[in-house]
Amino acid sequence: MSRFFSNKHAALVPYTPGEQPQDKEYIKLNTNESPFPPSAGVYDAVSRAAESVNLYSDPECKKLRAKMAEVFGLSDENIVMVNGSDEILNFAFMAFADENAPLAFPDITYGFYPVFARLNHIPYAEIPVKDDFTVDVNDYLGIHHTVVLANPNAPTGICLSLAEIEAIVRSNPDNVVIVDEAYVDFGGESAIGLIAKYDNLLVCGTFSKSRSMAGVRLGFGFGSKALIADINTIRYSTNPYNINSLTAAAGIAALEDNGYYMENCEVIIENREWTVAALRGLGFEVLPSKTNFVFAQSGKIDGLTLYRKLKERGILVRHFTLPRIADFNRITVGTIEQMQCLITTIKELTE
Ligand SMILES: *Cc1c(COP(=O)(O)O)cnc(C)c1O
């Protein structure tokens, strides 16, 4: 730290992204990327858009939002586009949370929530998930906090039902409830349909996981017209050109090929079920997943050792040091060949 770093950030502990090592080729099952390439239309759209990068991108993202509105069945005034859904989490915390509306989220969830809370000096309550790692809905009913829930949750993979999400939104009419649906396309139920009914619901999503574009950095938020206007106040006070013209073009093309991505999600779901059964066959405890990853612990080998041994053999998974989950690993679901290789390797390591 330099002697110039502001004291206001003294307590900041930055988020640790999953490793992206460049030393050799790994089977990369550590950051929940898609193993499938983007659709052909994305390549064409990006090269065409490259011709006009001398011009600023459209800060309103009009064409992309029109396409989003068509695909998701909303009006474009209910939609904001962001530079990865991480950005809308930060914007939403800035817009809707403070000491009078502190944050509440589970103790085991996406590691960025406490980081953005501290960055913005917002107090937060970390609410323990139950022993089976499920979120107890009762903990959030009428909580008088700004609620943020990943649904399905990460890194557990466990999903709340739409009725449970609605109960939380309905019981907190004077606070915003943020539902982070980064993994919803792998078997969860989206809360998008509730937006017309509740003015306190913000739903966030991303092109990073189900649409093979983690490197493109494209996310979105859905909410009432007034909530989206507030997010735009923050966005125009931070970076109005948050969506560059190549990203916007890639997003439009991806939505035109939406069927391709949704079929890929079906393949991932099949591969997930195969992996869950194979891991259970090797004696692992595997939490029920509605995502493109599984969260599992072996009874025979601790989480950190398994992570290290897999890495030595060229397979990357994600290990977290939080005490409650230190014996687990989060394993992204890739192609069936990748998963077969993972299982063969784990078998060798645990025999
Ligand atoms: C991956 C992830 C995100 C963010 O993804 P972006 O790449 O920033 O769009 C948000 N929330 C959860 C729970 C995630 O796992």
* pLDDT tens sequence across 212-256: 999 999 999 999 999 999 999 999 999 999 999 999 999 999 999
The Å distance, Cα 345 to ligand 1 centre, comes to 28
pLDDT at 343 over 90: yes
Q: Are residues 269 and 243 in the same domain?
A: no
Look at residue 21 and tell me whether its pLDDT is greater than 90: no
Nearest CA to ligand 1 atom 11: 182
Q: Of 256, 273, 298, which marks where a domain is finished? A: 256
In a domain, 7, yes or no: no
* Amino acid 1: pLDDT: 87
Q: pLDDT per residue over 97-138, tens digit each?
A: 999 999 999 999 999 999 999 999 999 999 999 999 999 999
Residue 132 lies in a domain: yes
Q: Is the pLDDT of residue 20 over 90?
A: no
Hey, CA dihedral for 180, 182, 186, 190, is it positive or negative? positive
Tell whether 241 and 155 lie within a shared domain.
Answer: yes
Closest Cα to atom 2, ligand 1: which residue?
A: 182
Q: What is the CATH number of the domain that holds 292?
A: 3.90.1150.10
Both 272 and 330 in a single domain? yes
Residue where a domain terminates, one of 224, 256, 288: 256
Instruction: Give the atom of ligand 1 at the shortest distance from the alpha carbon of 206.
Output: 9
Domain identity same for 246 and 303: no
* 300 domain-assigned: yes
For 48-81, the pLDDT digits (tens) are 999 999 999 999 999 999 999 999 999 999 999 9
Q: At residue 261, does pLDDT exceed 90? A: yes
Q: For residue 208, which atom of ligand 1 is closest to its CA?
A: 7
Residue 211 has pLDDT above 90, yes or no: yes
Tens digits of per-residue pLDDT, 272-321? 999 999 999 999 999 999 999 999 999 899 999 999 999 999 999 999 99
> Residue 292 burial (CB < 10 Å; 0-12/13-18/19+)?
buried
CATH value at residue 207? 3.40.640.10
Pocket of ligand 1 (CB under 6 A): 32, 84-86, 110, 150, 154, 180, 182, 206, 208, 214, 219
- The closest-lying atom of ligand 1 relative to the alpha carbon of residue 153 is 13
Beta-sheet strands, E only, within the chain:
27-28, 79-82, 103-106, 124-127, 146-150, 177-180, 201-206, 219-222, 285-286, 293-297, 315-316, 329-332
Q: Can you give the pLDDT at residue 19?
A: 86
Whether 223 and 290 share a structural domain: no
Strand partners, 206: 219
Number of Cα atoms under 13 Å in the Cβ half of residue 54: 2
Mutation to probe ligand 1, out of 110, 247, 289 (largest number of atoms < 8 A from CB): 110
Atom number of ligand 1 nearest to Cα 218? 9
Best residue among 178, 208, 217, 333 to mutate for probing ligand 1, ranked by most atoms within 8 Å of CB: 208
CA 86–ligand 1 middle distance (angstroms): 6
Whether 6 is covered by a domain: the verdict is: no
Among candidate residues 204, 239, 256, the one where a domain is terminated: 256
Q: What is the pLDDT of residue 58?
A: 98
Residue among 30, 33, 86, 93 to mutate when testing ligand 1 (max atoms within 8 A of CB): 86
Q: Are 342 and 235 contained in the same domain?
A: no
Number of domains in the chain: 2
Same domain, 137 and 284: no
Asked if residue 345 and residue 263 are part of one domain, the reply reads yes
Could you give the percent of the chain with pLDDT greater than 70? 100
Token code pair at residue 135: 């979120």
Residue 126 near residue 107, CB atoms below 8 Å? yes
Q: Which domain holds residue 345?
A: 17-37+259-350
Measured from the Cα of 31, ligand 1's closest atom is 1
Going by alpha carbons, the residue nearest to atom 5 of ligand 1 is 85
35 alpha carbon, distance to own chain's centre? 16
- Tell me how far the alpha carbon of residue 124 lies from the centroid of ligand 1, in angstroms: 20
> Is the same domain home to 45 and 194?
yes
- Do 195 and 105 reside in the same domain of the chain? yes
Query: Which pLDDT band, with edges at 50, 70 and 90, does 11 fall under?
Result: confident
Lowest pLDDT segment from 19-33, 79-93, 116-130: 19-33
